[in-house]
Structure 1
Amino acid sequence: MIPRTPQQRHEADQRGREAEAEAAMYLAAQGWRVVAERVKTKAGEIDLIVARSGLVAFVEVKWRARAASLGDAIDERRLRRVAAAVEMVWQDYAVQGEDIRIDVILLAPGRKPTHIENAWMPLS
């Protein structure tokens, strides 16, 4: 991976924040309530936490400049990191016995968001 300049890191962070805001609006339109954004843990960050009747979803948001790049946006390593972060905080959000899951929202310009439900199914 090519090292990024501080300006490139700032621009990437800004694009990430915009993507998370777009994902939050999309999920709200689908009947979800945004509970938290950018939850930081020692294991990593959870982009969005959303809830609806009996379910709490921990959402990883990925944005790519080209829709063709979305296939490589999420992989098992990234999902494992999200799952480790979720493991640290899920009890704080599923306080009434709700089911939990990890979802992914993929975004690219000119394309409807792709919502991958239950994207992480750990092998027990």
Structure 2
Amino acid sequence: MSEVLDHLRYSEEHEWAQQGEGRTVRVGITDHAQHLLGDIVFVEFPEVGAAVTAGDSIGSIESVKTVSELYTPVSGTVTRINEELENRPELLNEQPYGEGWIYELELDGEFEAAVASLLEAAAYKELIGE
């Protein structure tokens, strides 16, 4: 059974978005996604300063099983990547909602408008069959 946190918003591609201060959003992959991928060995990050649009492929995640596209659930400008994942990509498996976050961005608009199309926890649980 996958962990789904109530305070996050989720995409159908299994990314999560968490509101930070101001218009900052932290993004990562869900517990369900990391289970599907298996042991993660590499993360291709978006570039800091890149303008991204919700739904765009902005990188990839490589596991021992496969390579999976990384999509952005919201639009904005990438302001920070989790450099710790360069040396410890397994953090995505160990702590997908904690130290395993992937990047942060500054939203183009307000948080509630940006995440309006994303799933709340109950809807995400339904999507993954839990």
Note whether the superposition's TM-score is higher than 0.5. no
When the two structures are superposed, what TM-score results if normalisation uses the length of structure 2?
A: 0.31
| Structure showing greater Rg | 1
When the two structures are superposed, what TM-score results if normalisation uses the length of structure 1?
A: 0.32
